[in-house]
Amino acid sequence: MQSRDSFYINGKWVPASGKTRIEVINASTEEVMATIPDGDEKDANAAVAAARAAFDSWSTTTPAMRGDYLRKIQEGLKARSEELAKIIAGEVGMPLKLSAMIQVGSPVANFGIYAKLVNAFQWQEVTGNSLVVREPVGVVVCITPWNYPLHQIAAKVAAALAAGCTVVLKPSEVAPLNAFVLADVIDSVGLPAGVFNLVTGTGPVIGEALVRHPEVDMISFTGSTRAGKRISEVASAGVKRVALELGGKSASVILDDADLPAAVKGTVNACFLNSGQTCSAHTRMLVPESRYEEVAKLAMETAKNFTVGDPFGGSAKLGPLVSGAQRERVRNYIRKGIEEGAELLCGGPEAPDGLPKGYYVKPTIFGRVKPDSTIAQEEIFGPVLSIITYRDEDDAVKIANGTAYGLAGGVWSGSDEHALKFARRMRTGQVDINGGAFNLGAPFGGYKQSGGGREMGPYGLEEFLEYKSLQFKPDAAALTASAVR
């Protein structure tokens, strides 16, 4: 078991102000794999003070200098990829091979993307007699979740640093160890003191202290819609900028002319990835009424391939859920689906055979789910798929848009043109057309209660920037000279 005793503040590892510890639990063994400090308001204040003191100098560095640091961080993370994959497989439960590819590969790539983007980005432009410049928003608090812990950290921290902001990171206390490795890497590359700071603890204590701190300019949060609402409420007292990436209940719409085997397989894969612990998971599969029986059979056959087991064993496609609380939450939703009359096609609330330890849940598919039922409306965050039938495409659009969320979705059709026409009617932040792959350069974020703001690529960088307009006299030669610096 490893322990972390200190926070990374102002370029140094410093002891937490209190003595309370948080246990980090291995999702597959239910054993304590590490302990971390449980931070409080004093720790929050110290981290914010360091970030504020570092802002003036960091915000005036050149894009090239910031890009060099981001590239060094990318290289440092890449050198510790194997270690990180094992840590996250233990914390979250994703099978090791997938953890290496997704949980580590994606954040490593993100730091590299921003290392390049920071030099290609248009930081200023001339419009009429004005020079319009982009400047960093200031001190940013990044609060991140446990399901894709390092990926969500990179999406925020890399973009904020590229923008010229200084950062205080509070990762989820459920899966925090990867963030400490990132801090180790950042320390080793010599990032100036105070530019990046790491504290850990619970949301109601250190999280709220960070959000309400008067010297914080922006909060970037990924997590539950409930927590996002609370953050918005607290931040509003200081009129802070808030970027939120929240829950989802995404629909995968299979149109009548789709390749059914490919569409069903793709939807089940998109639902069950990371044991369903994905905010953009396609948890509702919408199918024509006339094709239901065929689709249900294909879905059950596909689900058989999702073996559940030890994430370090090498053969399992689904590992455990992240915690005992999450396991019970998902099982309760499965029970609710049965109570409300949905057709249980496979899975169920019982523990999988042969797995007495670990937070495991059977991959579960419900058929003939009513669009307004609990399991069709609320985010479950587990390997649970609801098959819903529709009469025609207008009905399908109504059902797809008929939740409080709007984060992601998919459309399957015999032609991309047909799928695109339908996708334009969906009120959601991203739509996969016929199984289109996730794109780290495209904007990610949602409509409605899935949040506000976007991450990834130049769109994610823009979240951390302000506009400033500098007006000159129309004939001022200084305007042209300033624009080309």
The candidate with the shortest Cα–Cα distance to 344, out of 367, 328, 363, 362, is 367
268 and 184 share one domain: no
Residues in the chain: 485
Residue 167 lies in a domain: yes
Residue 463 lies in a domain: yes
Q: How confident is the model at residue 478 (pLDDT cuts 50, 70, 90)?
A: low
Model pLDDT, residue 82: 97
Model pLDDT, residue 1: 66
Q: Is the dihedral of CA 191, 200, 227, 280 positive or negative?
A: positive
Is 279 marked active-site? yes
Model pLDDT, residue 66: 98
Tokens at 409, concatenated: 């979705």
Residue 87 lies in a domain: yes
Q: How confident is the model at residue 148 (pLDDT cuts 50, 70, 90)?
A: very high
User: Which CATH number covers residue 227?
Assistant: 3.40.605.10
Residue 481 lies in a domain: no
| Angle, helices 63-79/177-188, rounded to nearest 10 degrees | 120
Whether the per-residue pLDDT at 64 is higher than 80: the answer is yes
239 and 256 share one domain: no
Q: What distance in Å separates the CA atoms of residue 360 and residue 380, rounded to the nearest whole number? A: 15
16 and 152 share one domain: yes
172 and 187 share one domain: yes
Whether the per-residue pLDDT at 258 is higher than 50: the answer is yes
Name the residue range of residue 318's domain: 250-433
194 and 293 share one domain: no
The residue-averaged pLDDT of 410-435 equals 98
Q: What is the per-residue DSSP string for 39-100?
A: --HHHHHHHHHHHHHHHHHHTTS-HHHHHHHHHHHHHHHHHTHHHHHHHHHHHH---HHHII
184 and 259 share one domain: no
Choosing from 142, 165, 271, 279, the catalytic residue is 279
User: Which CATH number covers residue 423?
Assistant: 3.40.309.10
Model pLDDT, residue 476: 63
The residue-averaged pLDDT of 82-88 equals 98
Whether the per-residue pLDDT at 81 is higher than 50: the answer is yes
Residue 439 lies in a domain: no
193 and 49 share one domain: yes
239 and 350 share one domain: no
Per-residue pLDDT reduced to its tens digit, 323-341:
999 999 999 999 999 999 9
Q: What distance in Å separates the CA atoms of residue 315 and residue 178, rounded to the nearest whole number? A: 24
The candidate with the shortest Cα–Cα distance to 38, out of 204, 212, 216, 224, is 204
Per-residue pLDDT reduced to its tens digit, 35-54:
999 999 999 999 999 999 99
Which CA distances in Å does 134 have to 142, 224, 420?
21, 31, 34
Tokens at 342, concatenated: 């949905």
Q: State the CB neighbour count (10 A cutoff) for residue 415.
A: 12
By percentage, how much of the chain surpasses pLDDT 70?
98
The residue-averaged pLDDT of 207-231 equals 97
The candidate with the shortest Cα–Cα distance to 361, out of 399, 398, 330, 397, is 330
Model pLDDT, residue 480: 57
Residue 205 lies in a domain: yes
The residue-averaged pLDDT of 274-290 equals 98
Q: What distance in Å separates the CA atoms of residue 138 and residue 40, rounded to the nearest whole number? A: 23
Model pLDDT, residue 482: 54
The residue-averaged pLDDT of 136-164 equals 98
Model pLDDT, residue 2: 76
264 and 129 share one domain: no
Number of folded domains that form the chain:
2
The residue-averaged pLDDT of 105-120 equals 98
75 and 180 share one domain: yes
Instruction: Report yes or no: 248 and 379 within 8 Å, Cβ to Cβ.
Output: yes
pLDDT averaged over every residue in the chain: 96
Choosing from 91, 165, 173, 245, the catalytic residue is 245
The residue-averaged pLDDT of 456-474 equals 96
Residue 199 lies in a domain: yes
221 and 308 share one domain: no
- The half-sphere exposure of 258 on its side-chain side, counting CA atoms within 13 A, is 29
Per-residue pLDDT reduced to its tens digit, 369-403:
999 999 999 999 999 999 999 999 999 999 999 99
176 and 323 share one domain: no
What are the phi and psi torsion angles at 12 (to 5°)?
-140, 155
The residue-averaged pLDDT of 206-231 equals 97
Model pLDDT, residue 485: 46
Which CA distances in Å does 103 have to 89, 100, 277, 290, 409?
9, 6, 13, 39, 21
Residue 475 lies in a domain: no
